[in-house]
Structure 1
Amino acid sequence: MVKRPSKLLLQDQDTSLLGRPRRRRDPSQPSLPFAPLPDRIEPCLALLKQKPPVGPQWAFEVKWDGYRVAVHLDHGQVRILTRGGHDWTDRFPAIAEAARNLGVAMAILDGEAVVLDDQGRSDFGALQQSLDGRSGKKTSDASILMAFDLLYFDGHNLMGTELAVRRHLLENIIPRGTEGAIRLSEEVEADGASLLTAACEHGLEGIIGKDRESLYRSGRGGDWVKIKCIRSDTFAVVGYEHSLSARAGIGALVLAARKDGNLVYVGSVGTGFAESAAWKLREQLDKLVAKKSPVNYSGRRKDVVWVRPRLLAEIEYRAWTHDGKLRHAYKGLRDAANVYEIE
């Protein structure tokens, strides 16, 4: 049986992490006019920070490693949209069925579609495998939704209400401890520094901090922040180093980030390829072969096959080298996302 993430985080930890029992918040119901169900809402994104914020207004929860999705429920009709706006309802049948059984007529849930390991940790590789990759056609019965926000409910758009109110309403729909294909991403009663330490010790990706008084604003405005145990960002694939000895002939991926509106070379990554994943990736790369480099290449290898920068790779890395290159490990391809921008 999969362990609950909150229990995983807090086991064998100092009891101060648990904090005081939370008194049930009873906010006055917002006086909101009726609003039609939005076709799509651009998600609120977390701003990467090196340290957790401090202050009583900050709430913290686990950072889930999966695909960001919005679940739209309209009188039994369900749509599951990815961060890039793609309709993946058919690819997450268990989540869709669980949404129909929530007992509400109209709602938009914001959350992360994940696959959990036997310790309750999200496993992005297992999620990709269950879907046969980002551009695959498989459905994932193993995926569940970790819901962390409620954007629309019962004819009312909640984006203009504070997070504390939205969470109160969300917990009425998905109570704490609920099992199944839709679960609550629980707030953990701990200060950010202690929670981050616990998360890293248990092999989690990191934590998310959210301003309880903030409204829901699309984009990366700073109301939500993410602190990672290992840095992870999205980079454009602009080529690959050909190798006769490597899986599928891919010795390494050539990566680029954005700087002042242009793509710049930030290094190559050649680890983390499984046999099947390498061949699927090679098929995608062969469809994007370009005659010339999209970047000013300063690497040592000359046998680089250049591609149009259409594929995005999630790269885990611990630091930047002194010459602006990544120290990294390959993680996986992503759906539409923002390429890392160098300041």
Structure 2
Amino acid sequence: MAKTAKKTPPPAPPADPMPRRVDPCVATLVDKPPKGPEWAFEVKWDGYRLAVHVEPGEVRVITRGGYDWTKKFGSIVAEARQLGHASMIIDGEAVVLDEQGRSDFGLLQRAVGKKPSLHEPSEIIFYAFDLLYLDGHDLRSRPLAERRRRLEPIVAGRAGAIRFSEEVHADGAEFFRAACELGLEGIIAKRRDAPYRSDRRPEWLKIKCARRDTFVIVGYEPSTMPRAIGRLLLAAKKGNGLVYVGGCGTGWSNEEAVELRELLEAIPATRPPVTLKRKGAVFSEPLLVAEVEYRAWTQDGKLRHPSFKGVKKRARKVKVYSLDK
């Protein structure tokens, strides 16, 4: 009598099903770093927040908004296949570094976009800072310190498209001061004992380095609110002329928006002070300057996230930002 062959049992299902998408934990903006040994500090990278999903036979790159950008990040996808694990979800930031080793959002936009760029998509680096899922186990309920202990041996020491976002062992205030002196965007503080929770959370904090300079006001765009401005049009000095560096649409009250429009309507320009084709632009003589706080410069020479802080007359003693420096 023939023996019946034993059937191989099916593989056991994973302890935790792998989610198709995880809404990211988002840091809350605060004015200064927290104190205490329960906080870990990292560089705040200026790029695209991504989740890299590694599954058997598939790697997906998902943006903060839930879009599949796998095709845009070929070098990250290729390296993720070589990390030695069948399934995982890594949280991090895609960046392009400038010549000083700082993340530059403008360079990243150009590298990812369709316009010609000096930076190739292969120059994009994914800085991994959290591990949400690993080989059948959902790690989101585990403390940050444990999640990073598991992430570190997977990505630390790599110098290619995927790298480890190192913790900086320093006093938060000292680290923030040094980061700003180096021209970084800011720092991130995270509670070591906190689980991973989606959406904006107090367990993750961001402290930004802001730049502040003075720019010439060359006009405005009207607001939908009657008799008010919607955006200030700003320029910097270059040689003997002025160059448009972007519009600023925040930082004033409703009353100030009306007052600013009255000031600019009193000094209409006989001809545009800058080369700018923008529908709805109303040009003024470049007699006033605005003090503006902003994050950085984009690759095409515009202010990133500018915020109005005050206005004054353009006098010789007022130092206007120059692109020649």
**TM-score by structure 1 length?**
0.61
Matched, 1:184 2:168: no
**Deviation sequence 1:275-304 (CA, Å, 0-9, x none):** xxxxxx9xxxxxxxxxxxxx9974637998
The one-letter code of the counterpart of 1:214 is A
CA RMSD of aligned residues (A): 3.6
Query: Which residue is equivalent to 1:69?
Result: 50
Equivalent positions of 1:1-343 (< 5 A) are: 34-132=15-113, 140-175=121-156, 177-230=157-210, 267-268=231-232, 270=234, 298=258, 300=261, 305=279, 315-317=304-306, 320-321=309-310
- Offset at residue 196 of structure 1 (A): 0.7
Q: Do the aligned partners of residues 255 and 75 (structure 1) sit closer, same or farther apart at CA in structure 2, a change above 3 Å counting? A: farther
Counterpart residue identity of residue 226, structure 1: K
Query: In structure 2, what is the Cα distance between the partners aligned to 1:214 and 1:255?
Result: 44
Change (3 A) 1:71 1:139: farther
CA contact (8 A) 2:220 2:229 kept: no
C-alpha distance 164-127 of structure 1, shift in aligned 2 (>3 A): same
How far the C-alpha of 1:270 sits from its partner, in A, is 4.0
Cα drift, residue 119 of structure 1 = 2.4
Q: Kindly tell me: are residues 319 and 58 of structure 1, through their superposed partners in 2, closer, same or farther at Cα, counting changes over 3 Å?
A: farther
Q: 1:253 to 1:36 in 2, by over 3 A?
A: farther
Deviation at 1:254, TM superposition (A): 8.0
Q: Is the Cα contact below 8 Å between 2:221 and 2:230 reproduced in 1? A: no
Aligned length: 239
1:221 shift after superposition: 1.6
Decide whether the 8 Å contact of 2:124 with 2:161 is kept in 1: yes
> What is the aligned partner in structure 1 of residue 239 from structure 2?
none
Distance between the aligned counterparts of 2:130 and 2:53, measured in 1?
A: 12
Q: Name the CA distance, whole Å, in 2 between partners of 1:114 and 1:95.
A: 11
Unaligned runs of 5+ in 2: 1-13, 213-217, 237-245, 247-253, 269-277, 281-301, 312-320
User: Structure 1 residues 200 and 167, CA, compared in 2 at 3 Å: closer, same or farther?
Assistant: same
After TM superposition, give the deviation of residue 36 of structure 1 in Å: 1.4
Q: Closer, same or farther in 2 for the Cα pair 1:92/1:217, shift >3 Å?
A: same
Superposed structure 1 runs of 4+ greater than 2 Å apart: 251-256, 264-272, 295-306, 313-322
The one-character-per-residue Cα deviations of 1:23-60 (angstroms, maximum 9, x if unpaired) are: xxxxxxxxxx8111111111001111110000000000
Q: Which residue of 1 aligns with 2:215?
A: none
Where do 5+ consecutive residues of structure 1 fail to align?
1-32, 233-242, 244-250, 257-263, 273-280, 282-294, 307-312, 323-328, 330-343
> Cα gap change, 1:52/1:255 in structure 2, threshold over 3 Å: closer, same or farther?
farther
Residues of 1 paired with 2:79 and 2:220: CA distance? 41
Aligned counterparts of 1:179 and 1:73: Cα–Cα separation in 2: 20
User: Taking structure 1 as reference, are residues 205 and 255 closer, same or farther at Cα in structure 2, changes over 3 Å only?
Assistant: farther
In structure 1, distance between residues paired with 2:232 and 2:93: 29
Please give the alpha-carbon distance, in whole angstroms, between the structure 2 residues aligned to 1:133 and 1:269: 27
Q: 1:46 to 1:319 in 2, by over 3 A?
A: farther
For the residue of structure 2 that corresponds to 1:113, the secondary structure is: strand
- Give 1 or 2 for the bigger CA radius of gyration: 2
Letter in 2 for 1:70: A
Q: Percent identity among equivalent residues?
A: 49
Cα shift at 1:131: 1.6
TM-score computed with the length of structure 2 as normaliser? 0.64
State the 1:143 CA deviation. 0.6
Task: List per-residue Cα deviations over 1:72-102 (Å, max 9, x = no partner).
Answer: 0002411101111111110011111110111
